């Protein structure tokens, strides 16, 4: 009789990780190879997973995070131990802060050596370090636990409030073998990873009562609403209620920015005046001035009532009292409100809505006047006036945006027309998301990507233009080059030879970077040149970098948030 175990088919840790990911519909890994995960990247590619290899782990991590936002499936970032892990960690923390589902999988050293601190190659107690910076962190020590480890990571990333998960995989795990059939049985296909969370009927009623009695209601849509993919219900809520709405930055396009009920161009007015505010997947954090103070009309705040839809119950009352908390998933909560409104719901009072739209229309006319100017040196407005028309003509394109002035002006000037098309610096206002987000947006959507980047912002992830060229992605990077952080005009106060801390090499040619890797580079000094180059990039789908030369005196320090600089804040007091 042949020895049965000798003929048994075997599998190993590498293949179990790959099979577990595939079983759960994960088709892409964003990462950077090296010991101990190089073979994992090779085998994953061989097994039909798309492996997008980056030049720095932070960019791979940012790519995974935004893939999670776009698809509701956790984006996977794969790194080597200690330094690679740490490089990925910023992205993991940023994903968690923004409520994007991602899983950082890092190879690590053997526990025996790490725990005795014996100085292994790239030794670090990664699990302990990751834990406070993400939603959940797990380690898998045995091949037969890989299925459970990946299932737990997926569930933790996408259920409830989405976030980042760390999964620690010591090198030895990958080469462990087990019998193939048993291996297969050990894998878990996660069922209903993000279950619907139906709001309690009395909480729906409480919210409807407040809305019904409102004299000056407002709906605020946040990136949670964009993530939820409840686009039709959200539109139904807005249109049936007749309430003006404001989109937060990444919720732009959830309803087209030219929608009749958009209050974007009357933002200060509606925030100060509204008496009932319905928050849909938006936190009352710094981006909304914590729900109080001058932005919210000062004294008027005492009469204002908030209704908040959020999946995280502890978000309620985090900054101000929430009169009607509606805890559940956005799709279920919004549908419950729409159903509860019945057939005869009275639309928002006309005196309020007409006051809002009158202000908005006036501001739109004013902005159009500014945009129609063509100053001798291209500035943010004249450049964006050209870009906004091209975005309008290509509503399926994804817009990635970072910088200070570049961010603020693009957000207010460039209208979005489809959901989840605007990806930006998010909750932290972090620089460095640009190329990672652009790569993933192109990989996930297959649509053109336009990345509008401040020259400083671009520098944080600029090396990934090689990645964009290598994978031949339809990404057009536009660098708003004004020679420095914020502006390029600062001088060294000491009179010394060094330039000021905010100043870069003047007249730098970022377009040549793209040419170095076989892409298209264009130096644009006028809106017409910029417009032509962007149109060509979209038509050809070729990796392109447009160095848009911007007046170095334009814009302000820190953009719209100058007041947060300690010096400015002190002077104001
Ligand atoms: P913004 O920056 O656009 O204002 P935030 O990131 O502050 O948005 O808020 C997003 C909110 O959406 C978070 O509080 C998060 O818990 C919530 N959220 C995310 N996904 C869902 C969902 N599917 N259902 C309900 N709430 C969600
Ligand atoms: C990780 C601080 C905020 S905005 C910015 C920096 C450095 C760059 C602004 O200059 P840029 O834009 O991009 O040229 P523009 O349009 O004004 O000319 N490090 C991190 N995140 C942040 N937010 C900073 C530093 C910062």
For residue 531, what are its two tokens?
């417009």
Residue 90 pLDDT level (bands cut at 50, 70, 90): very high
Gyration radius from the chain CA atoms = 25
CB 393 within 8 A of CB 368: no
Give the nearest ligand 2 atom to 431 CA. 21
Residue-level pLDDT at 565? 81
**Ligand having the closest approach to the CA of 163:** 1
Predicted local confidence at residue 432, as pLDDT = 98
Residues with CB under 6 A from ligand 2: 403-406, 429-432, 454-457, 480, 482, 485-486, 555, 559
Say how far apart CA 477 and CA 460 lie, in whole Å: 14
pLDDT of residue 3: 53
Ligand nearest the Cα of residue 384 is 2
DSSP string of 491-537, one letter each residue = --TT--SSPPTTB--TT--THHHHHHTT-EEEEE-SHHHHHHHHHHH
Q: What angle do CA 270, 272, 277 make, to 5 degrees?
A: 65
CB under 6 Å to ligand 1: residues?
98-99, 161-162, 222-224, 227-228, 248, 250-251, 281-283, 285, 287, 310-312, 315, 329-330, 427
Cα–Cα distance between 353 and 216 in angstroms, integer?
Answer: 8
Share of the chain above pLDDT 90, in %: 94
What are the residues whose beta carbons fall under 8 Å from the beta carbon of 494, sequence distance 6 or more? none
What is the sign of the dihedral through the CA atoms of 566, 569, 571 and 573? negative
**pLDDT of residue 4 exceeding 70:** no
Structural domains for the chain: 10-186 (3.40.50.970), 201-359 (3.40.50.1220), 373-572 (3.40.50.970)
Ligand nearest to the CA of 288: 1
Q: How far is the CA of 177 from the centre of ligand 2 (A)?
A: 48
Q: CB-side exposure of 443: number of CA atoms within 13 Å?
A: 28
Per the omega criterion (within 30 degrees of 0), is the bond before 241 cis?
A: no
pLDDT in tens, 491-529: 999 999 999 999 999 999 999 999 999 999 999 999 999
What per-residue confidence (pLDDT) applies to 512? 98
Angle between helices 405-413 and 350-372 (to 10 degrees): 120
pLDDT of residue 5: 53
Nearest ligand to residue 558 Cα: 2
Question: Using one digit for the tens of pLDDT, what is the confidence trace for 197-223?
Answer: 999 999 999 999 999 999 999 999 999
Q: What is the pLDDT of residue 564?
A: 83
Q: How large is the average pLDDT for residues 39-58? A: 98
Interval between CA 193 and ligand 2 midpoint (Å): 36
Report the residue count for the chain.
573
Q: For residue range 95-141, what is the model confidence (pLDDT) as tens digits?
A: 999 999 999 999 999 999 999 999 999 999 999 999 999 999 999 99
Q: Tell which one of 61, 62, 457 to mutate to probe ligand 2, the residue whose CB is within 8 A of the most ligand atoms.
A: 457
Nearest-angstrom CA–CA distance, 171 and 84: 14
Nearest 5°: phi and psi at 181?
-65, -45
Considering only CA atoms, which of 23, 10, 329 is closest in space to residue 148? 23
Phi and psi at 186, nearest 5°, equal: -80, -10
Q: To 5 degrees, how large is the angle CA 476–CA 480–CA 484? A: 135
pLDDT in tens, 364-407: 999 999 999 999 999 999 999 999 999 999 999 999 999 999 99
- Cα separation, 107 vs 172, whole angstroms: 9
Ligand with minimal distance to 480 CA: 2
β-pairing verdict for 520-524 and 544-549: parallel
SS3 per-residue string spanning 51-71: EEECCCHHHHHHHHHHHHHHH
Ligand 1 centroid to residue 458 C-alpha, Å: 27
**Sequence-ordered list of residues with C-beta below 8 angstroms from that of 222, at least 6 positions apart, any chain:** 248, 250, 251, 279, 280, 281, 282, 283
8-state DSSP, 430: -
pLDDT (0 to 100) of residue 1: 47
Q: Give the residue, out of 283, 289, 422, 428, with the most ligand 1 atoms within 8 A of its beta carbon, to mutate for a pocket test.
A: 283
Q: What's the rounded mean pLDDT across residues 238-247?
A: 98
- The two beta strands, 245-247 and 217-221, are parallel
Mean pLDDT score across all residues of the chain:
96
Question: For a substitution probing ligand 1, which of 222, 234, 307 has the most ligand atoms within 8 Å of its CB?
Answer: 222
> Residues 168-189: pLDDT tens digits?
999 999 999 999 999 999 999 9
Residue 542 has pLDDT above 90, yes or no: yes
Pick from 98, 404, 487 the residue to mutate for probing ligand 2's pocket: most ligand atoms within 8 Å of its CB: 404
Which ligand is located closest to the Cα atom of residue 487?
2
What are the C-alpha distances in Å from 485 to residues 170, 177, 496, 506?
41, 52, 19, 12
**CB within 8 Å of 289: residues ≥ 6 apart:** 295, 296
- pLDDT confidence bin for 6, thresholds 50/70/90: low
Q: Which mutation among 486, 503, 563 tests ligand 2's pocket best, with the greatest number of atoms within 8 A of CB? A: 486
- Tell the residue nearest (CA) to atom 22 of ligand 1: 329
- Ligand 2 centre and the CA of 68: distance in Å? 24
- The helices-and-strands tally (H runs, E runs) of the chain is 24, 19
| Ligand 2: centre distance to CA 501 (Å) | 12
Neighbours of 289 (CB within 10 A): 14
Tokens matching residue 503? 């100043």
356 CA to centre of ligand 1 in angstroms: 26
Report the pLDDT value the prediction gives residue 562, as an integer from 0 to 100: 78
> How close is the Cα of 30 to the center of ligand 1, in Å?
24
Choice between 19 and 300, residue whose per-residue pLDDT is larger: 19
| C-alpha closest to that of 283 among 322, 252, 256, 245 | 322
Residue 555 has a pLDDT of 85
Distance 234 CA to ligand 2 centre (A): 33
Q: Give the atom of ligand 1 at the shortest distance from the alpha carbon of 98.
A: 6
Owner of token pair 């291209």 = 378
User: Does pLDDT of 257 surpass 90?
Assistant: yes
Which numbered ligand comes closest to the C-alpha of 456?
A: 2
Each residue of 290-323: pLDDT tens digit? 999 999 999 988 899 999 999 999 999 999 999 9
Q: CA 303 to CA 139: how far, in whole Å? A: 50
Strand residue runs (E) in 54-171: 75-79, 102-108, 136-139, 164-170
Which of 431, 460, 508 to mutate for ligand 2's pocket (most ligand atoms within 8 Å of CB)?
Answer: 431
- Taking CA atoms only, the protein residue closest to ligand 2 atom 1 is 431
**Nearest-CA neighbor of 484 among 425, 427, 552?**
552
Please give the backbone phi and psi of residue 303, each rounded to the nearest 5 degrees, phi first.
-100, 0
Query: Among the atoms of ligand 2, which is closest to the Cα of residue 408?
Result: 16
Return d(Cα 205, Cα 336) in angstroms, integer: 9
Whose alpha carbon is nearest atom 19 of ligand 1? 224
CA neighbor of 63 nearest in space, from 440, 387, 491 = 440
Exposed, middle or buried: residue 567 (CB in 10 Å: 0-12, 13-18, 19+)?
A: exposed
What distance in angstroms lies between residue 485's CA and the mean position of ligand 2's atoms?
Answer: 6
């Amino acid at each position: 009789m042949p020895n049965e175990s000798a003929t048994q088919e075997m599998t190993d840790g590498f293949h179990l990780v790959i099979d577990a990911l595939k079983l759960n519909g994960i088709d892409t890994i964003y990462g950077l190879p090296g010991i101990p995960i190089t073979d994992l990247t090779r085998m994953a590619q061989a097994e039909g997973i798309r492996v997008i290899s980056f030049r720095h782990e932070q960019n791979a991590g940012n790519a995974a995070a935004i893939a999670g936002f776009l698809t509701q499936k956790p984006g996977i970032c794969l790194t080597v131990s200690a330094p690679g892990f740490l490089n990925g960690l910023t992205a993991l923390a940023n994903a968690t802060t923004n409520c994007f589902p991602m899983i950082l999988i890092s190879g690590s050293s053997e526990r025996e050596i790490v725990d005795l601190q014996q100085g292994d190659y790239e030794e670090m107690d990664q699990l302990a370090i990751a834990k406070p910076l993400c939603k959940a962190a797990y380690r898998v020590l045995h091949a037969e636990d890989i299925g459970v480890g990946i299932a737990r990571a997926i569930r933790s990333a996408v259920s409830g409030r989405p976030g980042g998960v760390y999964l620690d995989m010591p090198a030895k795990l990958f080469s462990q073998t087990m019998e193939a059939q048993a291996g297969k049985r050990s894998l878990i296909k996660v069922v209903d990873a993000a279950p619907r969370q139906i709001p309690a009927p009395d909480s729906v009623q409480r919210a409807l009562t407040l809305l019904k009695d409102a004299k000056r209601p407002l709906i605020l849509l946040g990136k949670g609403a964009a993530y939820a993919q409840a686009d039709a219900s959200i539109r139904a809520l807005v249109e049936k209620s007749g309430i003006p709405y404001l989109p937060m930055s990444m919720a732009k396009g959830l309803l087209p920015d030219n929608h009749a009920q958009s209050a974007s161009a009357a933002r200060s007015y509606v925030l100060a005046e509204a008496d009932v505010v319905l928050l849909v997947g938006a936190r009352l954090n710094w981006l909304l001035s914590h729900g109080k103070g001058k932005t919210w009309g000062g004294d008027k705040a005492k009469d204002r009532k908030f209704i908040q839809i959020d999946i995280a119950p502890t978000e309620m009352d985090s900054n101000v009292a929430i009169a009607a908390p509606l805890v559940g998933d956005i799709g279920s909560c919004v549908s419950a409100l729409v159903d509860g409104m019945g057939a005869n719901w009275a639309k928002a009072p006309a005196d309020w809505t007409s006051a809002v739209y009158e202000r908005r229309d006036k501001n739109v006319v004013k902005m159009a006047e500014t945009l129609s100017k063509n100053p001798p040196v291209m500035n943010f407005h004249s450049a964006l006036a050209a870009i906004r028309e091209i975005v309008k003509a290509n509503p399926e394109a994804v817009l990635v945006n970072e910088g200070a002035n570049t961010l603020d002006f693009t957000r207010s000037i460039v209208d979005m027309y489809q959901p989840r098309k605007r990806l930006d610096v998010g909750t932290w206002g972090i620089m460095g998301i640009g190329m990672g987000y652009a790569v993933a947006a192109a990989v996930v959507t297959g649509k053109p990507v336009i990345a509008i980047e401040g020259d400083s912002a671009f520098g944080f992830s600029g090396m990934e233009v090689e990645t964009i060229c290598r994978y031949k992605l339809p990404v057009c990077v536009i660098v708003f080059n004004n020679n420095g952080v914020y502006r390029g005009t600062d001088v060294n106060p000491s009179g010394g030879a060094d330039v000021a801390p905010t100043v870069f090499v003047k007249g730098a040619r970022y377009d040549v970077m793209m040419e170095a890797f076989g892409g298209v580079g264009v130096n644009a000094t006028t809106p017409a040149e910029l417009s032509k180059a962007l149109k060509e990039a979209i038509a050809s789908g070729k990796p392109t970098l447009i160095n848009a030369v911007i007046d170095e005196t334009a814009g302000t320090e820190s953009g719209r948030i100058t007041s947060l600089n300690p010096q400015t804040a002190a002077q104001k007091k």
